[in-house]
């Protein structure tokens, strides 16, 4: 396996076919999609398509979101990690962003923060990236807080897909090296 990273409470590894059912359950919850355009997933076929896209990203970009597994139960709790963004957003293209989406059962335990920290470490140490972006809907306070706890700083707002007002945050390798939150 290409990725198999352990944190204190999580395992981050490549997404697998066996994750699809739990992934579908996470993404069918409207609360999970509250700040993502309010379009919860309706069929497993949508998840299969996303899975294929991520498999392709692993192969073409050497990176993609990771399955996020709770160590103590072995349960799939969502996905997190880095993505190479080849679609244009906020006038940027070909940049790396950090993201996360967890099943609601697992919110509020610090898991997104734990996975985000290790994604930044992987990006800056292993991949030697110069900067990593984080974006969230302007009202998605939990997501914004995770990004800030991991050291990303607010840069500006932008309009996502002509529709959602979102926050654009950033951290450079130099800033990350100076952090004392790790
Ligand atoms: C965003 C998400 C991943 C956060 O996961 P999580 O594991 O609960 O996050 P953490 O526990 O690591 O940290 C959340 C932080 O936000 C804070 N928070 C949560 N809700 C908040 C709110 N409504 N207002 C202000 N702060 C809030 C928490 O108190 C915590 O900060 P603290 O450690 O200083 O107390 C999770 O809510 C989720 O999957 N949401 C749906 C998908 C999504 O929106 N993804 C992000 C897209 S940009």
Per-residue pLDDT of 69-92, as tens digits, reads: 999 999 999 999 999 999 999 999
Cα–Cα separations (whole angstroms), residue 122 to 108, 113, 114: 24, 14, 13
pLDDT at 1: 65
Residues with CB under 6 A from ligand 1: 32, 35-36, 100-102, 107-113, 136, 140-143, 145-146
Work out the pLDDT band at 60, boundaries 50, 70, 90. very high
pLDDT of amino acid 40: 98
pLDDT value of position 180: 76
Instruction: State in Å: Cα 60 to ligand 1 middle.
Output: 31
Asked if the model's pLDDT at residue 181 lies above 70, the reply is no
CA of 147 to the centre of ligand 1 (A): 9
Residue 24 has pLDDT above 70, yes or no: yes
Going by CA atoms, what residue is nearest to atom 12 of ligand 1? 110
Cβ distance 89 to 36 under 8 Å? Answer: no
Percent of the chain with pLDDT over 70: 98
The CA 139 to ligand 1 mean position distance, Å, reads: 11
Q: What are 107-160's pLDDT values in tens digits?
A: 999 999 999 999 999 999 999 999 999 999 999 999 999 999 999 999 999 999
What is the overall mean pLDDT for the chain?
97
From the CA of 145, give the closest atom in ligand 1: 16
- 3-state class (DSSP) for residue 118: helix
> Residue 138 phi/psi, 5° resolution?
-60, -25
Domains of the chain: 4-130 (3.40.630.30)
- Supply the pTM of this predicted model: 0.97
Which residue CA neighbors atom 44 of ligand 1 most closely? 35
In sequence order, the β-bridge partners of residue 99 are 81
- pLDDT score recorded for residue 162: 87
pLDDT at 2: 84
In angstroms, what is the span from residue 8 Cα to ligand 1's centroid?
A: 19
Q: What value does the mean pLDDT take over residues 28-52?
A: 98
């Amino acid at each position: 396996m290409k990725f198999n990273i352990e944190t204190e409470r999580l395992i981050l590894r490549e997404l697998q076919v066996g994750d699809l059912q739990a992934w579908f359950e996470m993404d069918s919850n409207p609360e999970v999609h509250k700040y993502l355009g309010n379009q919860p997933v309706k069929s497993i076929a949508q998840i299969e398509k996303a899975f294929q896209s991520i498999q392709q990203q692993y192969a073409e970009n050497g990176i993609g979101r990771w399955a996020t597994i709770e160590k103590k139960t072995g349960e799939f709790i969502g996905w997190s990690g880095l993505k190479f963004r080849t679609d244009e957003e906020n006038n940027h293209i070909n940049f790396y962003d950090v993201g996360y989406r967890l099943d609601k059962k697992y919110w509020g335990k610090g898991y997104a923060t734990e996975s985000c920290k290790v994604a930044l470490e992987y990006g800056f140490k292993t991949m030697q990236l110069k900067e990593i972006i984080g974006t969230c809907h302007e009202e998605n306070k939990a997501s914004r807080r995770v990004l800030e706890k991991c050291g990303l700083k607010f840069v500006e707002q932008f309009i996502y897909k002509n529709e959602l007002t979102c926050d654009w945050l950033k951290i450079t390798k130099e800033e990350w090296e100076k952090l004392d939150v790790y």
